[in-house]
Amino acid sequence: MSETLLFRGARIEGVEPADILVHDGVIAEIGRGLSRDGATVVDVADLIALPGLVDLHTHLREPGYEASETILTGSRAAAAGGYSAVFAMPNTSPVADTAGVVEQELALGEAAGFVTVQPIGAVTVGQKGERLAELGAMADSRARVRVFSDDGFCVWDPLIMRRALEYVKAFDGVIAQHAQDPRLTEGAQMNEGAVSAELGLAGWPAVAEESIIARDVLLAEHVGSRLHVCHLSTAGSVEIIRWAKKRGVNVTAEVTPHHLLLTDELVRGYDARFKVNPPLRREEDVLAVREGLADGTIDIVATDHAPHPAEAKACEWQAAANGMVGLESALRVVHQAMVETGLLTWGDVARVMSREPARIGRLSGHGTPVTVGQPASLAFYDPAPARPFTADDLRGRSMNSPYLGRDLPGEVRWTLHQGTVTVADGAVLEAPGVRA
């Protein structure tokens, strides 16, 4: 494609139609009836123009688990979902707990070119929870890590959690906590409640999440540091975050698309696509997290994209791995759960799926408004179609989506990453700057 692109008629964040002129990787002009000699004109009438989406919680699996996903295949999946940047969780092999590993991940993301891949550093060495990892070295590296997490494991030791919160203050970092008390969830298979009792599966109590969040917001308040809560899933957790914010605690929280839509009733079929950590909760929890996202208690939507090979899911429930892929479906699920229900506007979607994730992660050049002079990282979304989500919608290496066969609205038609078209008319491209 030409380096000059003229997108005609898009509704910027869902409001009045306008033309968007992209030149040399930036938004050069916005208005009605624009023209530019030599520009490639793209008709995007009735599409929603959003700033490129930013995911604060993605598992790209590389290095070490390339059978599930690679940075290249995960980046392609992200572009298909309208993303221009993803934060890569550190539970790789080796664990991303040193400057060398995070710089390797950064370089692989740059080579792929579909999205900006921003590494997240581990909080503790090997994610074992015993001693702090090289937080300062990762922060000072070329990857400029600002988010640290042992995701997949809870930083359960309160003293280590306190020291981590204190340490990252020096460079405006944030600790992203996987809130799961390990003793309260030993052997747990699904949400603890009526359905688990009926099925005879070991329950995963809400208090296992809520007790860690309660402890950590108090630690963050005591230290005066930034805390981020990963994949919040219960009504009680929403209330704790709401209380903490009223106290002035510097805490942010995320919810996944699947916790906005799916409930533990789906476990009745023992389909391991619905096995996830934290588990799918009750309908009451789904409604509570939707309300928390709508009123700003929950700051962002993050996918927790967790690919697994087929054999990790095509087995009995107890032996199956936790996790769901979610990059390609996230915007469509948020559309269904939050926009169609009137809880969010498209401007709100831009905030919770682009601006705020970039702000929390301190990722410059992303999450910026669709305005003149900003980098041209954009997603053009067609809200009109509604059709079943299928394997053809998946662009990563793994197929463990909970939405296969489920009707979802909308479709991402175009994605731009810093001026480079990565998705054109619904097809993922191998464009200049994008490696096959």
Catalytic status, residue 37: no
Task: Judge whether 192 and 205 are in contact, CB under 8 Å.
Answer: yes
CA–CA dist 169, 164 (Å, integer): 9
- Is 308 annotated in a binding site? The answer is yes
Same domain, 98 and 35: no
What pLDDT digit, counting tens, does each position of 81-132 carry? 999 999 999 999 999 999 999 999 999 999 999 999 999 999 999 999 999 9
Same domain, 197 and 294: yes
Q: Which of 307, 337, 361 is the last residue of a domain?
A: 361
What pLDDT digit, counting tens, does each position of 139-152 carry? 999 999 999 999 99
Catalytic residue among 304, 348, 382, 425: 304
CA–CA dist 282, 197 (Å, integer): 13
- Is 91 annotated in a binding site? The answer is yes
In CATH, what number is assigned to the domain containing residue 403? 2.30.40.10
Q: How confident is the model at residue 197 (pLDDT cuts 50, 70, 90)?
A: very high
CA–CA dist 384, 401 (Å, integer): 22
pLDDT at 436: 39
Same domain, 40 and 95: no
Same domain, 190 and 278: yes
Same domain, 219 and 323: yes
Same domain, 234 and 270: yes
Q: Does some domain include residue 333?
A: yes
Same domain, 228 and 285: yes
- Beta-bridged to residue 42, according to DSSP, are 7
DSSP string, 1-45: --SEEEEEEEEETTSSEEEEEEETTEEEEEESS---TTPEEEE-T
- Is 151 annotated in a binding site? The answer is yes
Instruction: Quote the strand ranges of 208-288, DSSP E.
Output: 227-229, 251-255
Tokens read off for 84:
């221009």
* Structural domain span for residue 134: 51-361
Same domain, 339 and 271: yes
pLDDT at 435: 45
- Is 23 annotated in a binding site? The answer is no
Residue 433 has pLDDT above 70, yes or no: no
The percent of residues in the chain predicted with pLDDT above 90, rounded, is 97
CA–CA dist 216, 237 (Å, integer): 12
Q: Which of 335, 361, 387 is the last residue of a domain?
A: 361
Q: Does some domain include residue 435?
A: no
- Beta-bridged to residue 404, according to DSSP, are 389
Same domain, 341 and 422: no
- Is 228 annotated in a binding site? The answer is no
Same domain, 85 and 8: no
What pLDDT digit, counting tens, does each position of 2-55 carry? 489 999 999 999 998 999 999 999 999 999 999 999 899 999 999 999 999 999
pLDDT at 430: 76
CA–CA dist 122, 93 (Å, integer): 12
Q: Does some domain include residue 434?
A: no
Q: Does some domain include residue 99?
A: yes
Cα 71-76-82 angle, rounded to 5 deg: 125
φ, ψ (nearest 5 deg) of residue 295: -95, 5
Query: Total structural domains in the chain?
Result: 2
Residue 434 has pLDDT above 90, yes or no: no
CA–CA dist 98, 86 (Å, integer): 19
CA–CA dist 164, 219 (Å, integer): 11
Q: Does some domain include residue 368?
A: no
Q: Does some domain include residue 300?
A: yes
Same domain, 182 and 205: yes
Residue 431 has pLDDT above 80, yes or no: no
- Is 43 annotated in a binding site? The answer is no
Residue 70 has pLDDT above 60, yes or no: yes
- Is 57 annotated in a binding site? The answer is yes
What pLDDT digit, counting tens, does each position of 410-428 carry? 999 999 999 999 999 999 9
Same domain, 322 and 404: no
DSSP string, 83-117: EEEEEEPS-SSS-S-SHHHHHHHHHHHHHH-SSEE
CA–CA dist 149, 138 (Å, integer): 13
Q: Does some domain include residue 433?
A: no
What contacts 24+ positions apart, CB below 8 Å, involve 109-113?
109/71, 109/75, 111/72, 111/435, 112/71, 112/72, 112/75, 112/76, 112/434, 112/435, 113/75, 113/417, 113/420, 113/422, 113/433, 113/434, 113/435
**82 residue type, one letter:** G
3-class DSSP state for residue 399? coil
pLDDT at 3: 80
In CATH, what number is assigned to the domain containing residue 190? 3.20.20.140
- Mean pLDDT for the stretch of residues 171-197: 98
pTM of the prediction?
0.96
